[in-house]
Amino acid sequence: MGDKRVALVTGANKGIGFEIAKQLGNRGVTVLVGARDEARGIAAVNRLKAQGIAAQFVLLDVKDQHTIDEAADSIAHRYGKLDILVNNAGIFLNEPLPSGNDVSTLKEVYETNVFGVFRMTKTMLPLLRKSDGGRIVNMSSSLGSLTLNSDPDFELATFIVLGYNSSKTGVNALTVFFANELRNTPIKVNSADPGYCATDMNGYSGPRSPEQGASVAVYLATLPDGGPTGGFFNEVGAVPW
């Protein structure tokens, strides 16, 4: 087991998740690459290992509690703890305007983006409690900010995607309430806004790179003991709720 930090990143086989794993690995953290596709997950691990990073594949579907339980059991057996959990896995669907949307679409988005974060956090919390300073990072978005979306001058104000945007608002709520519960423990819980990055989720349309998007998550995952908890941050500073 040892004292080396261990991080689990969900959806880490590509995009921002892969870059988070890579950047944590370059800091000497053992990274567990959570992915629901075994072939892609193993390929990502091999890419990381080729760069000298200690990495391991973990079969993980955040919609499937059984795979989450098995992942937790495997981590407990091999490492005895978890130091960092990055809830990165998420989906984006092509949605009509709110008045044309439907409940089934909202449920599908929330199943991964909100309930998946809850499942992961609750299940991995006993392992995070065994760390000297557990860190939970929930990947959110400025699109989940009610303050920004209420401003007509917000640069993404016309991006009216009810399911995805409100799911990130829900992620921020999970951050606040888990942080409140854990405030008197060494565990810190924060939301990260990676910015509009070019990934396959948006057809590589974002102006920022996955490397840039990963930086705030890595910062929050490696906060010192005196760092913040229950906050929402991008690489510049606090993002309004």
Residues designated as active site = 164, 168
Q: Report CA 193 to chain centroid distance, whole Å.
A: 10
Cβ 126 vs Cβ 179: under 8 Å? no
- Confirm if 58 and 34 have CB atoms less than 8 A apart: yes
- Look at the block and give the residue holding tokens 């888990």: 178
The span from the CA of 72 to the CA of 88, in Å, is 17
Residue carrying structure tokens 């880490």: 12
CA 155 to chain centre: 24
Cα angle vertex 109, ends 158, 198, to 5°?
A: 55
